Amino acid sequence: MKSKSAGFSLLELLVGMVIVTIGLSAAIPTYLRNMRQGEVDRYTQQLEAGFFGLRAKLGQQKTSCTLNFDQNGFNNFAAPADVVEMQNHPERIECCNSDIEAAGRSSGCAYGPEIGTLLAGDSSGAEKDKIIRDRSLRLLDREGTPESNAVEVSVNLASYELTPPGTSTMSEDLIFLIRSTNTKEERLRTRCLQISGTGTIVRASWDASTSSCVK
């Protein structure tokens, strides 16, 4: 006897396609939302790591710095390149120590990203590269990352002073807010970094109703 192979009818294929389409329509928005939230979270971690690194260098080099922000205010969001990144704006961090004065700056101060080159002087090769890498100061170790193009940043203060241990005598905490550039997605969380005068760094979510970082 010949066995008949059971195939799919046109109706069954259409029903299957509808089920797949419904599944994708539900899964894709969730995937995109998780991807965008991941970009926010990764940039927040980069900013936190950069601040930890800056604080460590200040302690090692006995250096005090002032961070200057062109745009400030919790609701004044802008691209990281316009707020915290310093590749094209070295004046956003000005630092002072005795080594800078010994290198020829009578004020003892220079812009953070330029300190390494200043102190390298007539050095060359690997030694010069090491001095520039170790002695230059900035808020973020890596700038212009893919995440930086996907987020917006705001900061509450116009300036913030840091002492050699990486602490501050300022009475008000420094707070950064980081959110996705896709502001139409209401379920995306805005993250925050809060730096206290003692140097404590808190990474959390921003509660707009209380204007506070909430873990």
Give the global pTM.
0.85
Look at residue 146 and tell me if it is in a domain: yes
- Is it the case that residue 17 has pLDDT exceeding 80? no
- Is it the case that residue 186 has pLDDT exceeding 90? no
- Is it the case that residue 177 has pLDDT exceeding 90? yes
Q: What is the pLDDT of residues 108-135, one digit of tens each?
A: 999 999 999 999 999 999 999 999 999 9
Look at residue 24 and tell me if it is in a domain: no
Look at residue 125 and tell me if it is in a domain: yes
Task: Report how many domains make up the chain.
Answer: 1
Collapsing DSSP to helix, strand or coil, 167 comes out as coil
- Is it the case that residue 27 has pLDDT exceeding 70? no
- Is it the case that residue 30 has pLDDT exceeding 90? no
Residue appearing with tokens 């790591």? 49
Return the amino acid letter for 214. V
Q: What is the pLDDT of residues 60-112, one digit of tens each?
A: 999 999 999 988 999 999 999 999 999 999 999 999 999 999 999 999 999 99
Look at residue 18 and tell me if it is in a domain: no
List C-alpha distances in Å: 118 to 104, 141, 148: 9, 19, 28
Closest CA to 157 of 148, 149, 168, 165: 168
- Is it the case that residue 189 has pLDDT exceeding 60? yes
Cβ(26)–Cβ(63) below 8 Å:
no
Look at residue 10 and tell me if it is in a domain: no
**Is beta strand 174-180 parallel, antiparallel or unpaired with respect to 93-96?**
unpaired
> How confident is the prediction for the chain on average, in pLDDT?
90
Range(s) of the domain holding residue 182: 38-214
Look at residue 120 and tell me if it is in a domain: yes
Look at residue 84 and tell me if it is in a domain: yes
Average pLDDT over residues 2-24: 64
Question: Which pLDDT value is given to residue 164?
Answer: 92
- Is it the case that residue 136 has pLDDT exceeding 80? yes
DSSP string, 35-54: HHHHHHHHHHHHHHHHHHHH
List C-alpha distances in Å: 158 to 45, 123, 170, 176, 215: 22, 36, 12, 12, 25
Look at residue 111 and tell me if it is in a domain: yes
